[in-house]
Structure 1
Amino acid sequence: MIVTEIEDCGSGKRKVYLDGQPAFVLYRGELSLCHIEKDQELPEAVYREIMDEILWKRIRMRCLYLLKSMDRTEYQLRTKLKQNLYPEELIERVIRWLKDLHYLDDARYAENYIRTHGESLSAMQLKQKLTQRGVPREVLMQAMEEQEGPDEEVLIRKWVKKKKIDPGNCTPAEKQKLYAFLMRRGFSSSGVRRVLQGGSEMQNEYS
């Protein structure tokens, strides 16, 4: 392996290219300790020491720090580590390590998210939010089933009350505007129609 480029990343960090490809990032002092210089060969033993000792310790500490501040999905953590320029080999390795320790668990993340936000977000919104966070579809659907998800009509009535509009005593234009608002919130058209058509529960909100 030939060191073909050493790029300044700021904050004392240097990105090292091996055989023309980005390989890893080290601090300037570590480059000196490992005797890494441009256009020089990097022995396999030194490469393994960098990956298995220096960077392996660093990526584990980085992950524990990130997970200490907030729970994350596998996708979110992978994205963060790639932004931090860690080698793909170590990202895969640390993901397995975290899963084995149950520090990283998409199912747990999804269940906690649904439990926390289930009273304010529609089922569709919950699915969208979790999908954006990289939760696999099968994991998401399982979590929705186990948590049972929010009661859609209860949520719709809460939003209607929050908008301070009585569906039984408003103009057609106001009702249409409210319908469009609720649809944008991710509620089903059938659920919205049932609530806006008025039932005893909705009428009691304004009695």
Structure 2
Amino acid sequence: MAEEKAIPKVTKITTQKRQGRYNVFLDGHYAFPISEDVMIKFRIFKGMEVDAQLQAEILAADDVSKAYNRALNYLSGHLRTEQEIEQKLRENEIPEATIKTTLKKLRALHLVDDLQYAQSYVRTIARTSDKGPIVIRRNLRAKGVLENDIETALTEYPSAAQVENGGDIAQKLSQRYRREPVTKMKQKVRQGLMTKGFSGEIVDQILAKMQFEPDPELEAQKLATEFEKVWRRNRRYPFAQRKLRTKRTLFTKGFSIDAINRLIEQQENSD
């Protein structure tokens, strides 16, 4: 009958240079590293027997401990979504099974909560940026937040606050486009608000509260510049057709037909 092989025993435990990390020696030979919390969890001490199965359990627990500490470092000072943590751990080549166990531990300790993250994100963006709910929703989806959590979080940005914030943005946009005709200015302000993520309904409410007052002098300068370009572009056409094409182009740009006619009349007189 073959002699039963002796189970290895812990003969030495030494500290590493990294705080909270230890080296374990079995039967006088270096065996594996562990963290302090794993050493406490498994009650590892000098003289303890460690068979192959127990060693595998210890190493698996240490993998989770390392992943957990990496996640804590990543979470330090910032809320993160589960997807962001998962991606970060993958970048560090952490095994999938370890990532799942780590996330479960983080959830149990309330260190990761996608709904809480989304609510905080919505409040911050509403307070500090010019982004509307549609853009916020898109950004949260990209971070892996589920649709139900996004929907709940967006209640942190009520319609009244959207109209107020959007009104400030609209005023800035109207100043940027003050050289444009009123119809074109409104169109560009509307387009700008939609691009920033405000819904059509909210944009309508914002525009209804605004008074668009273009600068007549700047608008006249803009029209004169546009007229010169369009008139020159249409020079290959007969005069009557040239006038018609110029009128049509400038009218679609939002300039009044009376102002266009005056410039055409001046052009006729000069010609």
Report which structure shows greater RCO (CA 8 Å, sep ≥6).
1
User: Contact 1:118 / 1:126 at 8 angstroms: preserved in 2?
Assistant: no
Deviation at 1:167, TM superposition (A): 9.3
1:107 corresponds in structure 2 to: 115
Question: Could you tell me the TM-score, scaled by structure 2's length?
Answer: 0.53
2:79 matches 1:71: yes
2:58 matches 1:49: yes
Aligned length in residues: 163
In 2, distance between residues paired with 1:159 and 1:33?
65
In 2, distance between residues paired with 1:195 and 1:115?
20
Alignment partner of 1:103: what SS?
Answer: coil
In 2, distance between residues paired with 1:190 and 1:139?
23
2:197 matches 1:186: yes
Query: Structure 2 residue aligned with 1:153, among 127, 148, 163?
Result: 163
2:150 corresponds in structure 1 to: 140
Deviation at 1:177, TM superposition (A): 2.0
In 1, distance between residues paired with 2:118 and 2:192?
26
User: Contact 1:167 / 1:175 at 8 angstroms: preserved in 2?
Assistant: no
In 2, distance between residues paired with 1:163 and 1:123?
19
1:3 corresponds in structure 2 to: none
User: Contact 1:99 / 1:105 at 8 angstroms: preserved in 2?
Assistant: yes
User: Contact 1:114 / 1:149 at 8 angstroms: preserved in 2?
Assistant: no
Alignment deviations for residues 110-167 of structure 1 (CA, whole Å, 9 cap, x no partner): 111111111332111221111111111111112223x253532222211112224399
Segments of 5+ residues of structure 2 without an aligned counterpart are 1-28, 33-51, 215-271
User: Contact 1:179 / 1:192 at 8 angstroms: preserved in 2?
Assistant: yes
1:12 corresponds in structure 2 to: none
1:195 corresponds in structure 2 to: 206
Alignment deviations for residues 76-105 of structure 1 (CA, whole Å, 9 cap, x no partner): 101111111101111111111111111111
For 1:62, give the aligned amino acid: R
2:126 corresponds in structure 1 to: 118
In 1, distance between residues paired with 2:80 and 2:153?
16
Segments of 5+ residues of structure 1 without an aligned counterpart are 1-31, 36-42
2:105 corresponds in structure 1 to: 97
CA RMSD of aligned residues (A): 2.9
Distance 1:185 1:83, change over 3 A: same
Question: Could you tell me the TM-score, scaled by structure 1's length?
Answer: 0.67
In 1, distance between residues paired with 2:179 and 2:133?
28
Deviation at 1:56, TM superposition (A): 2.2
In 2, distance between residues paired with 1:92 and 1:205?
58
For 1:52, give the aligned amino acid: A
In 2, distance between residues paired with 1:174 and 1:84?
51
